[in-house]
């Protein structure tokens, strides 16, 4: 997991499987900027091969925190299997799922 802060927002790049073993680190990375008045976070899912309920819960928890601070959380570049999970769980519509990082940052 790589976390980069830019002028447009914070980018969290994930690789491999997002599951019970990595969800805690994801949760920490997503909530690190919540002291900002309106944090903006894009989760780059381009390198993610699997996303389980632990990862989904981390994304939903971060979304709730950011929503309450007038910030936002967006998803970028999920591969087809992960996109399907996001659609089935309803996260694609709730968070906003974009084809790539550029679109997610400037939507």
Q: For the residues 15-21, what does the mean pLDDT come to?
A: 96
- In whole angstroms, give the CA distance from residue 49 to residue 15: 7
- In whole angstroms, give the CA distance from residue 63 to residue 38: 12
pLDDT band at 72 (very low <50, low <70, confident <90, very high): very high
Find residue 34's DSSP bridge partners: none
Residue by residue, DSSP assigns 1-29 as -EEEE-SS-EEEEEEEEESHHHHHHHHHH
Q: What is the per-residue pLDDT across 27-49, written as a single tens digit (0 to 9) for each? A: 999 987 666 767 899 999 999 99
Whole-number pLDDT of residue 32? 78
């Amino acid at each position: 997991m790589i976390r980069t802060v830019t002028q447009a927002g914070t980018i969290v790049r994930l690789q491999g499987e997002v599951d019970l073993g990595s969800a805690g680190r994801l949760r920490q990375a997503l909530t690190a900027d919540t002291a900002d008045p309106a944090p903006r976070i894009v989760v780059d899912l381009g390198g993610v091969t699997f996303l389980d309920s632990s990862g989904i819960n981390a994304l939903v928890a971060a979304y709730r925190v950011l929503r309450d601070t007038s910030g936002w959380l967006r998803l970028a570049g999920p591969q087809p299997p992960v996109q399907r999970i996001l659609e089935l769980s309803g996260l694609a519509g709730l968070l906003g799922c974009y084809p790539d990082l550029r679109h997610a940052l400037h939507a």
